[in-house]
Amino acid sequence: VTLVDKEASNNMSDKKGRATKRLNVELKRIQTKDKPEFMKSVTLVDKDLFVWKIQIIGPEKNAKGEKSPYAKGVFTVIFNMSDGYPFKPPAVKFITPIYHPNIKEDGSICENLLKEPKAWSPQTKIHQALAKVHHMLANPDPNAPLDGREKVAEQFTKTQKAFFKSAADFTKKHAK
């Protein structure tokens, strides 16, 4: 092993160590002081500090004060942090199936939600990212549907009553 390899290895180890320290602090805080009111639980997947399984309660209302079709649903979301955390945002994926134009059938969300320059910085905490995900859940954007969700967005735009029924039925079936 050359000196450069050792330095690179130490640098990677330092990054993971910093991320581990930060995640330990955030995990404690999200369970106590920074716990969002809509969060039901947070657990580690396979005891891995870099993969969190978070259960959130669907929003009662959207930003306009209208009833949400996701109300009373319990949704499981995975936050997967890389070694580059907090300099890189977590990958977020819904495990609970959901009828939403901005969430793919496989649970993937729009990457820009957390990757846009103003959406993520090293100071952003997991509970803040979770709040952005919850806000997106409450406020579908039919103008930015994800691949495969164009018909869901079209239904939201053209026949919102039918969209709300479909989304509410989907929530009742899957988000228990």
Give the active site residues. Answer: 110
Residue pair 142/99 in contact (Cβ under 8 Å)? The answer is: no
**Alpha-carbon gap, residue 162 to 173, rounded angstroms:** 16
Please report how many Cα atoms fall inside a 13 Å half-sphere around the Cα of residue 35, on the Cβ side: 13
**Alpha-carbon gap, residue 146 to 41, rounded angstroms:** 27
Alpha carbon distance, N-terminus to C-terminus of the chain:
53
Residue pair 166/155 in contact (Cβ under 8 Å)? The answer is: yes
